[in-house]
Homo-oligomer: A and B are copies of this chain.
Amino acid sequence: MNVLAPGAIIGILGGGQLGRMLSLAAARLGFTCHIYCPDADGPAANVSAYQTVGDYLDLEKIKLFAQSCDVVTYEFENVPAQTAAACAQFAPLRPGARALEVAQDRLTEKTFLQDKAAINVVPFADIANVYDLDRACKRLGFPAILKTRRLGYDGKGQVKIGSDSEIKQAYEALAGAPAILEQFAPFRREVSIVAARNEQGEFAAYPLIENVHRNHILYSSTCPAPDNNAPDNTSSNQPSHIASEMTRAIMDALDYVGVMATEFFEMDDGRLIVNEIAPRVHNSGHFSQNAGCCDQFELHIRAIAGWPLGDTQPRHVSVMTNLIGAEAADWQQLASHKNAHLHLYGKDGARAGRKMGHINVVGAPLPKSGD
């Protein structure tokens, strides 16, 4: 086990807001960060000691970058396999290449979850051509969702199919990209677990988080998620515990090191189905920055540095709301809320749909063991 001492250099692939907040957390522990990203003016570089601007496929630059680092991590799951392999030659890559491989391809992911981690997923089918799609629709029924296997986020690269007559058009919409068909899950809400695991197998998870989306983009996250099964809609530990144990099983199966998020559909009967995993810090975990415990960014840095994991037991109910596009222009008003903590990413242009910041509102105190 390599334990990194303060002063060590942490390499981060990706220079967006997740890289920025990772870098800020690393600084608190005395680490120095080196950002690798294609854009010179991303949010992370301004708060990091070093930056290499380069294409992810420029493996010569990647090599020099990795050689300068004591550990390399990433803020996004679409790191090319060659890039990950090139990094891993010169520095420990945490989480590893296997987590990327699984998370990058929806078919690999669902197959892995079902076969290797014994996790409930929606019925799915591999779609290579329109005939596959036709057969799969018969088997899975309507409605079903056709998704590209790779890339696609915030609702992009997805088509809902409601009947036989929509099959051909749906297939054409994906322009021949390899795809997966998933049975539609009539979920009552989306929830997630943000958890960490270190090389020794130590595991720590925040309580279950309830996520609300608008226009396919995360709008708000509440932790702990109110319990839909409890008569008074307060929080109970049970669904949180089940979701946390599923996440632990996935992380163990991947021999995962770092923070990972698991997104679940919660069905009307309370059953949890894994939708997808994100092998990185996650938007739904931002609440943790002001919840009175270790935040997900520091948790990730601790895990990849071989440190003891931090405390994931929040002291307060927290509600995180994203500031999308022009919403961040209200910063003066947002900054005047008591009980609210404003986080802005230092981005220049407030394009529609672009995540510009978030605000964490701190609510009622939670009982805490050890107080």
- CB of A46 within 8 Å of the partner chain: yes
- CB of A362 within 8 Å of the partner chain: yes
- CB of A5 within 8 Å of the partner chain: yes
Q: In the complex, are the beta carbons of A47 and B27 less than 8 A apart?
A: yes
How big is the A interface, by class? 35 or more
A145 CB to closest chain B CB, in angstroms?
Answer: 36
Binary per-residue interface labels of chain A (291-308) against chain B in the complex, 1 for a CB within 8 Å, 0 otherwise: 010100000001000011
Q: Which of A49, A290, A346 has the most CB of B within 10 A?
A: A346
Q: How many chain copies does the complex carry?
A: 2
Q: In the complex, are the beta carbons of A32 and B346 less than 8 A apart?
A: yes
- CB of A284 within 8 Å of the partner chain: no
Look across to chain B and name the residue whose beta carbon is closest to the beta carbon of A291. Answer: B292
Q: In the complex, are the beta carbons of A30 and B346 less than 8 A apart?
A: yes
Look across to chain B and name the residue whose beta carbon is closest to the beta carbon of A20. Answer: B27
Q: In the complex, are the beta carbons of A335 and B315 less than 8 A apart?
A: no
Q: Bound complex: CA of A82 vs CA of B315, how far in Å?
A: 48
- CB of A160 within 8 Å of the partner chain: no
Chain B residues near A343 (CB-CB < 8 A): 28
- CB of A45 within 8 Å of the partner chain: yes
Interface CB pairs A-B, < 8 A, 16? A5-B331, A7-B346, A24-B28, A29-B335, A30-B344, A30-B346, A30-B357, A31-B346, A45-B49, A290-B292, A292-B362, A302-B335, A310-B335, A315-B315, A338-B370, A339-B370
